[in-house]
Amino acid sequence: MKKNKYLFAVVIFFHALWMMFISYLWLNQPYSYDWEARIETINNLFKNVLLGIEDKPSKGSLLLINISYDKMLIPRYDNDGFESGKIAITDRAAVIKFLETINTSPNYKFIILDVFFEDSTALDSALQAQIKKSRGLILPYHLDGGNIALRSRINGWAGLADYDADFGNFFKYSYLQRDTCRTVPLVLYQKYNNCYINKYGPFYTSKNRLALNSVALDFPVRSYDIFTNDSLGYNSVHLCDLANLPPPFIKELTKNKIIVIGDFMDRDIHPTLYGNMAGPLIQLNAYLALVSGDHLLSYPLIFFIFVNYLIISWFLFSGNLFFTNKWLEKLKASRNVRLFYDFIKYAFFLILINIFGYLLFDVHLNVLIIGIYIVTVEYIINWINSLSDKKVKKI
């Protein structure tokens, strides 16, 4: 009897570890299912908006510069090389003038220039010279859908600026992509925080701790925090409005700040849990998440997940139910809804893990999909037990 108890304890112990492993693999995917994202939305709104429990950067630490309205026209050519009109691109002259001003005596922390200079212009050499002079200025590059990097016409320090949409919405940011491609936030994290994300097989580590490579962002800096008509938001300005400001004022404005330059209001807009969000804001918030340690898995969190998975494993292999009553038994007896019932009973527990994991440890545990695995294992166990019962009856 004791031997069977020990065997049962060993089985549920290692099954809980196995569940943690497959959950970790799923959490590191750059996407989640729609219903998992909905739960995260509720969690975010409840904790960050209603309760106001969030860690936002100080108002004076950022300067956001919008280039949506700074355009220049260049010729557009057809396939035969003949000019067929004009196209509007980011005004190189405005960017050059701003960089010239701050490069005379740089006093900022670093610059995220989230503009992909794809088209050739007569001002490229002047812009290249200012980019080279700029201290701590990072540019984006992209992938062609495979492993080929698409580089800007302007050379400089760069990081990958690609991220995945989830059912049309942005949800999770992956820092190390295709094992070797470091994104803009990760490159900044390595240089200015002297921290890394390293990959060992299926596992990621950072600061000598187990870490996540894909993180659901909380967006401490949101669209309604910038370009407001009051003094409550973050420092934000249109590049065209900086043109006529005196250099001393611009230098004071950039002092000790993280500067983010990009399209905040026109084309580079993505739907998120908090509504539409500009691409430069996604890059900024992804960096802030690393600085806050949102990618790190703490020992209390790991213990919390293990205990909950141990409980699920006990119910799964013991054959006991989480809860039961006559109405639920009738529901379970119906063939049409039995599979739905079996999933829901575990999904409810996984939702609680998700909610309390976020409220207590500030980590989105989008593990609801694990419910499908649990139901599959339960059906296999029931099938094996039914075969055993048939053998006993024959005997």
Asked if 260 and 125 sit in the same domain, the reply is yes
Q: Which two tokens stand for residue 82?
A: 């003949």
Asked if 256 and 109 sit in the same domain, the reply is yes
pLDDT tens for each residue of the chain, 395 residues long: 455 888 899 999 999 999 999 999 999 988 777 777 778 778 877 777 777 777 889 989 999 999 999 999 888 877 777 777 888 999 999 999 999 999 999 999 999 999 999 998 999 999 999 999 999 999 999 998 888 999 999 999 999 999 876 666 788 999 999 989 999 999 999 999 999 999 999 999 999 999 999 998 989 998 888 887 766 689 999 999 887 889 999 999 999 999 999 999 988 998 887 889 999 999 999 999 999 999 999 999 999 999 999 999 998 888 765 555 454 555 555 555 555 666 677 888 888 898 888 888 888 888 888 888 888 888 888 788 777 655 555 55
Asked if 270 and 313 sit in the same domain, the reply is no
* Model confidence, pTM: 0.89
Q: Which two tokens stand for residue 61?
A: 């630490």
Asked if 197 and 69 sit in the same domain, the reply is yes
When divided into structural domains, the chain yields a total of: 2
Asked if 124 and 243 sit in the same domain, the reply is yes
Asked if 123 and 179 sit in the same domain, the reply is yes
What is the model's pLDDT at position 31? 78
- Position 66 in a domain: yes
* Among 382, 312, 379, CA closest to 23: 312
- Position 45 in a domain: no
What is the model's pLDDT at position 1? 41
Please name the residue ranges forming H helices in the chain. 2-27, 34-44, 92-103, 124-133, 184-192, 239-242, 247-254, 279-292, 299-318, 326-333, 335-361, 370-394
At residue 184's C-alpha, the angle toward residues 178 and 186, to 5°, is: 70
At residue 277's C-alpha, the angle toward residues 59 and 191, to 5°, is: 60
What is the model's pLDDT at position 203? 97
- Position 41 in a domain: no
- Position 169 in a domain: yes
- Position 44 in a domain: no
- Position 18 in a domain: yes
- Cβ contacts of residue 272 below 8 Å, gap of 6+? 169, 170, 171, 217, 219, 282
- Position 271 in a domain: yes
Boundary residue ending a domain (292, 316, 340): 292
Boundary residue ending a domain (248, 271, 292): 292
**How far, in Å, CA of 78 to CA of 62, rounded?**
42
Check: CB of residue 364 under 8 Å from CB of residue 382.
Answer: no
At residue 215's C-alpha, the angle toward residues 173 and 261, to 5°, is: 40
Asked if 375 and 270 sit in the same domain, the reply is no
Asked if 102 and 236 sit in the same domain, the reply is yes
- Name the DSSP class of 223: G
Check: CB of residue 140 under 8 Å from CB of residue 149.
Answer: no
What is the model's pLDDT at position 51? 76
The pair phi, psi for residue 124, each rounded to 5°, is -60, -40
Asked if 389 and 278 sit in the same domain, the reply is no
Asked if 66 and 200 sit in the same domain, the reply is yes
Q: Write down the residue that tokens 């240089």 correspond to.
A: 191
Across 57-90, b (16+ Cβ under 10 Å) vs e yields: beeeebbbbbbbebebeeeeeeeeeeeeeeeebb
Check: CB of residue 282 under 8 Å from CB of residue 173.
Answer: yes
Domain, as residue range, for 171: 56-292
- Position 42 in a domain: no
Asked if 356 and 209 sit in the same domain, the reply is no
Residue 252, classified by CB atoms within 10 Å of its CB into exposed (0-12), middle (13-18) or buried (19+), is exposed
Give the β-pairing of 203-206 and 198-200.
antiparallel
Check: CB of residue 298 under 8 Å from CB of residue 200.
Answer: no
Asked if 342 and 227 sit in the same domain, the reply is no
Boundary residue ending a domain (230, 262, 292): 292
